[in-house]
Each structure stands twice: as C-alpha cells, then as structure tokens.
C-alpha cells in the first residue's frame, strides 16, 4: 500500500484550512461533517463558502496565510491558489509533525483525502493514492448503489444490541453466525425500508429464540420493470442478490432473471391468455408456504407490482397469514415503453392527463368506461391490448374519437426486440395484420403519438447479448 488507510477523530479539534476556493470548500466540508473546529485562512472566499463562515465551528481569518496559523492545530489543509504557499505550508506542517494535505501536490502531503461514502456511522473511503482522483470518484459512484442509506441506521441497531448479543452467544463463532444472518436477512431489510420498530421486534424474537434465532422468512414483491435490466432500482437488485427462492412470470426478461442470486431456486409461474402455469390463488399460497419455511422469497414481476400486476392480491394473502413482506416499485410498462419509443405521455398542447387501462379480455368482452376513454386532450394506454385491439379501435370510434387519432403499438418495449407499429385508428389493424407483433405489447392512443415524428433525434442502441435497449442522442 502507498498509504495507510486510517480514520482520525477530529471532533472539536482545531484544524487549519488555508484557501478560499472550490477545493478548499470541498475539504472544509469533510472536516466540518467530522466535527472539527476549523481555522479558515484566506483573503477571499468563493460564494459557496460565505454562508459557512458564520457557523460556530468555523473561524475565518480574512488575510493571507501566516506561519503562526499552524500553531496548536491537529491537522492542516493547504488549498490556496499559490503552489509556493501550499508547499511552504506542507513543509512547516511536516516539521511540526502536523498531518498535512496539500491540494494537487502529493509529494508535499503526509495524508490524502479520499472520496467518501457517508452513511454515518458507516463511512467508506476510496483512494487511488493520488494517481487519479477522478477514478476514485467514479469508483465511489459505483459503490453508492451498493451501500444503501439505511446502512447508518443498521449500524446504530448493531451498536444498541452488541452487548446483548455477546451475552446471548458465548462463542465468537456463534455470534458471527448470528450477525451474518441478521445483517443479510429480515432485520436488515426492515431497517432499510424504515420500519425500525419492526426491526427491533425481530431482534428481540431472535435473541429470545431457543433454536435457530434467525428464522426470518419474508417475501420481496419486486417490480422488474418493462425489460431493460438498466431500469431496475438499486433496492430491487439488492434483494435479487440475497433471495433464496425466486418466483417469476413470463413478463420478466431473461437478462433480469440472470441477475438473481445464482444459487437461488427458480420457480416459474408464468401466465398467458387461456394458459396458466399456476393459478393466482396457487401463487399466493406458494409465496406464503415458502416464507413459512424460512425462505427469503423474491416475487419478481414485470413492470410495477401494483399496476395490473396483481400485487395487491398477493400481499393480501401474506398479510392475512402474518408473513412479513415488502414491496419494491418498478418502472411500469407505459412509462418505460413510451420513453424508449420517443412518445411523451403528457404534453401541454396535446394531453393534460394519462389513463392506464387493461385491454385483457374477460368473458369475450372489454368492460371499460368507453365514454371516459374517448374524451379529448388525454393519452390512453392499454396494457395487454393486442388481442383486444379490434375492440379498442371500434369502441373508441363509436364514442366519437376521430379515425385519424394517432395510435402506437409497442412490441416488447425497452428490450432488443422492441418494435413500434405507428398509425391511426383507421389503419392500425391493417398494419398489425400485415406484420403480427410478438407479445407483450402496449397500445398508446392519443395526439402525443404523432410527436414521435417530430422527435427525430430519438434513437436507441440495442445490445442483443445483454438484452438491453438504451435511449441515446444522435452521435452519443
């Protein structure tokens, strides 16, 4: 290692910051968050620094650096706009055995300030040993997605229960196993989701258990989005990586299934029109049974669980049986497919509202409020509307919608199989019959569809190997 990674306690300790520019501001902010008492020396300050000089922990000396500014300080930062002054501060600090950081001059430093992920009391520091601060920031950005904000709350919980766990488990091996299971199970997820009282109750049950103290069966109802893996939320990805069992349907794209924890058990419960691998009631009971067996169950659903995803039915069963669960929203198909198709769902000139309806046929009919769906100045999105497309076209025109109303049918939106059929109510059936699309499909009806012709800049890149489709600007 080029540097020894350590964390210094500078609470209420005098620390020098020489300089009033953007670099000095960034370094001062880190010291301020760590509780240091800061001696700020600079003739001028950037606007970002000015509001801070009135804080009790910051003393601003409006003048150039003087040697005496290093007296009695615990740590020093040299960030003036004069390299010679910075070098002199570094030399004086080293002679006085004061740790010093000199901006952009590694040879004059005795320590460097890393890129920080602050989840206090959890803090992650990333450094490249001054080789590339930009690379350190890029690595930090990657890690941000892997360290949820709730890790600070989780560390607080660990601190509160540490002594009790030590008393409960005499052997270190047992304590380590307990914490491994708690920090990767239901207790941690309750903390991450903000249910702190439930997390405490779960810890109490775990400590009081006679056998295995960590039988934390739980169901994660996770929205997988419309197909592109890049549209998953951070939370969805985290739960996918820690589930014991995944229950999924046909609307979940294979590249997303491949991102689930590799040793998890896979159970397919896909449903198609008039062909159900497993009825919804059986799925509900399956989720409950698996959770009662102590499994962390991932119920992975295409789009968003609460938008035509029957998520409400599934959690109703779980709640009735007292099984803990959490719901993670996903990007619904209407939003994802419209975005990747270059169609804004609302527009001040064309659509002041948007309506989501299901086009799924029941008993050979579509029981929808057609007068409402035929109202002007709105966008109507039909989920699962391919089979019922002739009825949709006919009913809308019967209720006064012009045959020239723009329509778009989007096949397998946001994936490498995405294809858009654009037309009007008068000709969309003919276009679909000439080149039948592959489900799942989404139907968008409204004046906003014709904006796609104006948005000629909108293109997509497709990577069949990854199964991803990404919107980009020309030349990007």
- CB atoms under 10 Å from CB of 58, counted, come to 18
Listed residue (419, 421, 390, 395) closest to 408, CA to CA = 421
Listed residue (267, 271, 265, 236) closest to 250, CA to CA = 271
Does residue 315 share a domain with residue 301? yes
Does residue 223 share a domain with residue 268? yes
271 belongs to the catalytic site = yes
The CATH number given to whatever domain includes residue 370 is 3.30.950.10
- CB atoms under 10 Å from CB of 48, counted, come to 15
Determine whether the annotation assigns residue 226 to a binding site: yes
User: Using CA of residue 50, residue 54, residue 58, residue 64, what is the dihedral sign?
Assistant: positive
In a domain, 307, yes or no: yes
Q: Which of 69, 108, 228, 249 is catalytic?
A: 249
Does residue 80 share a domain with residue 37? yes
User: 3-state class of 456 per DSSP?
Assistant: coil
Q: Which residues of 319-354 are buried (b: 16+ CB within 10 A; e: fewer)?
A: eeeebbbbbbbbbbbbbbbbbbbbbbbeeeebbeeb
The domain tally of the chain equals: 3
Does residue 357 share a domain with residue 338? yes
State yes or no: cis peptide before 461, omega within 30 of 0. Answer: no
Q: What are phi and psi of 445, to 5 degrees?
A: -120, 125
Does residue 436 share a domain with residue 311? no
In a domain, 164, yes or no: no
What is the strand order of the sheet 75-78 is part of? Answer: 58-61, 37-41, 14-18, 75-78, 100-102
Choosing from 331, 350, 373, the residue where a domain stops is 331
The pLDDT score that the predictor gives to residue 459 is 44
Determine whether the annotation assigns residue 23 to a binding site: yes
In a domain, 9, yes or no: no
In a domain, 369, yes or no: yes
The CATH number given to whatever domain includes residue 320 is 3.40.1010.10
Q: Summarize pLDDT for 197-256 with one digit per residue, the tens.
A: 988 988 998 888 754 544 558 899 999 999 999 999 988 998 998 888 999 988 898 999
- CB atoms under 10 Å from CB of 34, counted, come to 19
Show the tokens assigned to 51: 């509001």
Determine whether the annotation assigns residue 214 to a binding site: no
Listed residue (476, 438, 444) closest to 460, CA to CA = 476
Show the tokens assigned to 214: 């960590």
Determine whether the annotation assigns residue 294 to a binding site: no
Does residue 448 share a domain with residue 370? yes
Give 64's contacts (C-beta < 8 A, 6+ positions apart): 41, 42, 43, 85
Choosing from 310, 331, 352, the residue where a domain stops is 331
Q: What is the pLDDT along the chain (476 residues), one digit of tens a residue?
A: 788 888 999 999 999 999 999 999 999 999 999 999 999 999 999 999 999 998 999 999 999 999 999 999 999 999 999 999 999 999 999 999 999 999 989 899 999 888 888 888 888 889 888 788 889 888 888 888 778 788 899 999 999 999 999 999 888 878 887 887 788 777 888 888 888 998 898 899 888 875 454 455 889 999 999 999 999 998 899 899 888 899 998 889 899 999 998 889 999 997 665 555 688 899 999 999 999 988 889 999 999 999 998 899 999 999 999 888 889 999 999 999 999 999 999 999 999 999 999 877 655 567 899 999 999 999 999 998 898 999 999 999 999 999 999 999 999 999 988 999 999 999 999 999 999 998 889 999 999 999 987 764 444 444 444 444 444 443 33
Does residue 375 share a domain with residue 459? yes
The pLDDT score that the predictor gives to residue 185 is 75
Query: Is the distance from CB of 370 to CB of 399 less than 8 angstroms?
Result: yes
Q: Which of 118, 200, 215, 271 is catalytic?
A: 271
Does residue 455 share a domain with residue 339? yes
Burial class (CB in 10 A: 0-12, 13-18, 19+), 306: middle
The CATH number given to whatever domain includes residue 29 is 3.40.50.720
Determine whether the annotation assigns residue 413 to a binding site: yes
Strand ranges, E, within 253-302? 265-268, 271-272, 275-276, 296-301
In a domain, 130, yes or no: no
Determine whether the annotation assigns residue 316 to a binding site: no
Determine whether the annotation assigns residue 304 to a binding site: yes
Choosing from 113, 140, 157, the residue where a domain stops is 113
User: Can you give the pTM of this predicted structure?
Assistant: 0.67
Listed residue (44, 46, 49) closest to 32, CA to CA = 49
- Report DSSP letters for 368-435, one per residue: --HHHHT-SS-EEEEET-STTHHHHHHHHHHTT--TT-EEEEEESTTSTT-EEEEEETTTHHHHHHHS
In a domain, 43, yes or no: yes
Query: What is the domain range of residue 309?
Result: 217-331
Does residue 385 share a domain with residue 273? no
CA–CA separation, 3 and 311 (whole Å)? 51
Does residue 461 share a domain with residue 354? yes
Does residue 74 share a domain with residue 18? yes
Show the tokens assigned to 152: 């600070």
Does residue 400 share a domain with residue 444? yes
In a domain, 423, yes or no: yes
Burial class (CB in 10 A: 0-12, 13-18, 19+), 110: middle
């Amino acid at each position: 290692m080029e540097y020894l990674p350590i964390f210094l306690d500078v609470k209420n300790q005098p620390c020098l910051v020489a300089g009033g520019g953007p670099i000095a501001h960034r370094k001062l902010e880190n010291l301020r968050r760590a509780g240091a008492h800061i001696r700020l020396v600079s003739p001028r300050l950037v606007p970002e620094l000015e509001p801070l000089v009135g804080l009790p922990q910051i003393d601003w000396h409006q003048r150039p650096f003087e040697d005496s500014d290093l007296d009695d300080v615990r740590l020093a930062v040299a960030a003036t706009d004069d390299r010679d002054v910075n070098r002199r501060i570094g030399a004086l600090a080293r002679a006085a055995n004061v740790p010093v950081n000199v901006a952009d001059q590694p040879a004059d430093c005795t320590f460097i300030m890393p890129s920080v992920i602050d989840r206090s009391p959890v803090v992650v520091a990333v450094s490249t040993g001054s080789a590339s601060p930009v690379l350190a920031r890029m690595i930090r950005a990657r890690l941000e997605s892997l360290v949820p904000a709730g890790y600070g709350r989780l560390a607080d919980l660990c601190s509160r229960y540490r002594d009790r766990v030590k008393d409960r488990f005499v052997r270190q091996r047992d304590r380590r196993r307990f914490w491994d299971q708690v920090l990767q199970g239901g207790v941690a997820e309750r903390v991450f989701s903000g249910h702190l009282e439930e997390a405490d109750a779960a810890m109490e049950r775990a400590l009081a258990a006679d056998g295995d103290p960590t039988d934390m069966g739980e169901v994660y109802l996770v929205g997988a989005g419309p197909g592109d893996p890049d549209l998953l939320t951070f939370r969805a990805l985290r739960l996918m990586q820690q589930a014991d069992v995944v229950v999924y349907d046909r609307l979940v794209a294979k590249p997303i299934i491949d991102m689930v924890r590799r040793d998890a058990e896979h159970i397919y419960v896909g449903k198609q029109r008039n062909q159900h691998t497993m009825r919804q009631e059986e799925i509900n009971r399956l989720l409950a049974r698996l959770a009662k067996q102590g499994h962390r169950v991932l119920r992975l659903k295409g789009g968003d669980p609460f938008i035509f995803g029957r998520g409400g039915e599934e959690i109703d069963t779980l709640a009735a049986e007292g099984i803990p669960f959490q719901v993670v929203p996903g990007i619904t198909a209407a939003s994802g497919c419209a975005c990747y198709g270059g169609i804004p769902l609302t527009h001040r000139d064309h659509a002041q509202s948007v309506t989501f309806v299901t086009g799924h046929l029941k008993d050979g009919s579509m029981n929808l409020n057609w007068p409402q769906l035929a109202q002007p100045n709105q966008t109507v999105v039909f989920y699962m509307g391919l089979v019922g497309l002739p009825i949709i076209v006919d009913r809308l025109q019967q209720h006064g919608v012009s045959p020239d109303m723009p329509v778009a049918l989007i096949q397998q939106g946001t994936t490498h199989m995405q294809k858009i059929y654009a037309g009007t109510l008068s000709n969309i059936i003919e276009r679909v019959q000439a080149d039948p699309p592959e489900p799942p499909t989404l139907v968008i009806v409204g004046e906003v569809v014709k904006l796609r012709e104006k948005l000629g800049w909108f293109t997509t890149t497709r990577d069949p190997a990854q199964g991803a489709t990404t919107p980009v600007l020309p030349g990007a």
